[in-house]
Structure 1
């Protein structure tokens, strides 16, 4: 008879989250690189999320902007690139090879084929022409170091070519070669987003050549990515892993087997941790508060979220596409949401009053003040706005 699986309940999962995700004050990090490494990846679809997610986890939040800028644009120790679920993330530089081989290659093949097909349907130049333009654009980027799409098009005028997309359909439009090609090159791992034109809240990025990395076999890369994520976010179910990676369930199961993942029992059913981690139950941290941004990697970390977010809160805190807005946390649970008003004030609302007393209110107040101090005069409006955030900000 096999050995019984260890049960890991919600309280223990929240204790792991507090420490491993650098959210309890005693677990806060010294650098943005430590934050990104602890979380595996930071959501990068909204530039603001990267900085707010780092700032919430730094021991000295006042250094958030200069230190994150340094990591992203000077040292290049953090890299913004496409990753899981065809989404833009910020990764530690040493993770780029793993991410590219585990999740990028298959998406890249589909994206290039789709671009070639769309151009052919519109009667635009063929794949041979596209390859010539691509090589010329990459050479120009090597000369310039960093460039916007418009600057690249001045160097290689063929990038300005346009073609019709989805003619006759409600969503038909006109695409420019440069916009589609840069997207494909990004997924292929040939270019990455560089320094933005504006401040740290800007989404107008320059482009740069991707840092060189070794090529890994896809199955090896998948195993390594899953091992890193389970070490940071385990336990997790197969459904969580499939959702977070965007892989087929067969890929998830193969990677779990390859790393010798250990099965545990969760309230949701069978979960998995890295081998030997089942018995690493942490001592509970002191109760803690956090104000996390929209698309924060902790709030978006699992498909099954009932152990830290009550289902009744979702309609207020998520948009129609499933993107989470700014959240207020108390002792490992989402209890409400927050926003910044036009005058800079940080405001919040508690939606789940259970266990939220004077101690919680004081801690949340302190976190709001801490956030306001380092954000200063900057206004941070999420790219994907949610019902509660819009209401609070008005």
Structure 2
């Protein structure tokens, strides 16, 4: 079994995610093909996550891919959370994940007094309304009210979400004012064809490990939201078939896909500014490889929040925030990053040397900050 040190395993993970090793894609679809999915409760944070994995990409490029190009789509996928995924994968992911999510939603429907008749009416209203073209949730709620449904509170959200999980509707283009719209999935998404059942779980596991490996069974189960029995079964099939490479990281058994191309295994001083709830942090049950325990409370300050982070060679070295006057403001751990003063610069150099990097040039951080500021202003 291959033995990996923490730094080496972290670099392999960050390389797989496209956030280390100077690995950047040149288009929005290429980013998503590489990292599989980007968490997207906040669409602007998702766009920043794509920017961090790309070269020269802007928020407008993301909206173009969601709209005119139709190369990616936003939807409720892993764990019922909103993600951006390649449009060609959306149908297969929905077919695999939606049945479990719909079962989990039944209690909420009852709480909202959405019985079989109300659910059927809501689905019919949404289908007929979207035949006229893209509509926002508020516009769909107005149609529901006209049809005699109580569209107050969370009812429109759950009816639209249910329609998406059933495969009737999906997110469409983003309007100029930033409003999300919905469209008929049959008119918007490419036809899905691919494995189903247990084979679909295995395919998702392959895609997960390609974008996140090395990782554990618990990491995949937590990220995907699939039940452990299905996850373990798929894992065992791939392992027996020789499709997984076992490795040991800090006494823990982990797995990756056998390397079919050179990967970055040496630190390069690669700096990335990742948005809140970035997949590099939420894609694992255990984040100790990417966040040192003493900094966990700064990355996760409470209330389920995950802060925007500064990552150097896959290790979180600080957090950042957007200031209207100053743009991206970095708040580094342990004394600062290069350019923050001689004392802070020396402390940062020592920390970097401890990770095996001889030096981290201030130019790398300055370039990343400039890129973020340009992206936010675009």
Q: Which TM bucket (shorter chain)?
A: 0.7 to 0.9
Contact 1:7–1:265 (8 Å) recurs in 2: yes
In the other structure, the counterpart of 1:381 is none
In the other structure, the counterpart of 1:136 is 125
Contact 1:98–1:225 (8 Å) recurs in 2: no
In the other structure, the counterpart of 2:206 is 227
Question: What is the Cα deviation at residue 180 of structure 1?
Answer: 2.1
CA distance in 1, matches of 2:371, 2:261: 35
Contact 1:160–1:176 (8 Å) recurs in 2: no
In the other structure, the counterpart of 1:98 is 92
In the other structure, the counterpart of 1:363 is 364
What SS class does the counterpart of residue 162 from structure 1 fall into? coil
Using structure 2 for the length normalisation, give the TM-score. Answer: 0.84
Structure 1 unmatched ranges of 5 or more: 164-173, 379-394
In the other structure, the counterpart of 1:127 is 116
CA distance in 1, matches of 2:149, 2:326: 43
- What per-residue deviation string (whole Å, max 9, x for no partner) do you get for residues 58-104 of structure 1? 2224xx22321121111211010011111000000121133113322
Contact 1:81–1:186 (8 Å) recurs in 2: yes
Mean Cα displacement is larger for which, 151-160 or 27-36? 151-160
Question: What is the Cα deviation at residue 234 of structure 1?
Answer: 0.9
Using structure 1 for the length normalisation, give the TM-score. Answer: 0.81
In the other structure, the counterpart of 1:117 is 110
Structure 2 unmatched ranges of 5 or more: 335-347, 354-358
In the other structure, the counterpart of 2:64 is 70
C-alpha distance 209-115 of structure 1, shift in aligned 2 (>3 A): farther
In the other structure, the counterpart of 1:23 is 19
Contact 2:24–2:55 (8 Å) recurs in 1: yes
C-alpha distance 291-218 of structure 1, shift in aligned 2 (>3 A): same
Aligned length, in residue pairs: 351
In the other structure, the counterpart of 2:166 is 188
Question: What is the Cα deviation at residue 315 of structure 1?
Answer: 1.2
In the other structure, the counterpart of 1:161 is 149
Contact 2:125–2:144 (8 Å) recurs in 1: yes
Matched, 1:286 2:264: no
Question: What is the Cα deviation at residue 356 of structure 1?
Answer: 4.4
C-alpha distance 160-25 of structure 1, shift in aligned 2 (>3 A): farther
- What per-residue deviation string (whole Å, max 9, x for no partner) do you get for residues 28-60 of structure 1? 111011111111100111111121111122222
Question: What is the Cα deviation at residue 247 of structure 1?
Answer: 1.8
In the other structure, the counterpart of 1:265 is 248
In the other structure, the counterpart of 1:391 is none
Question: What is the Cα deviation at residue 157 of structure 1?
Answer: 3.3
Question: What is the Cα deviation at residue 339 of structure 1?
Answer: 0.9
Q: What is the 5 A alignment of 1:277-316?
A: 277=259, 282-284=264-266, 286-316=268-298
What SS class does the counterpart of residue 279 from structure 2 fall into? coil
Contact 2:16–2:213 (8 Å) recurs in 1: no
In the other structure, the counterpart of 1:350 is 332
CA distance in 2, matches of 1:270, 1:146: 47
What SS class does the counterpart of residue 195 from structure 1 fall into? strand
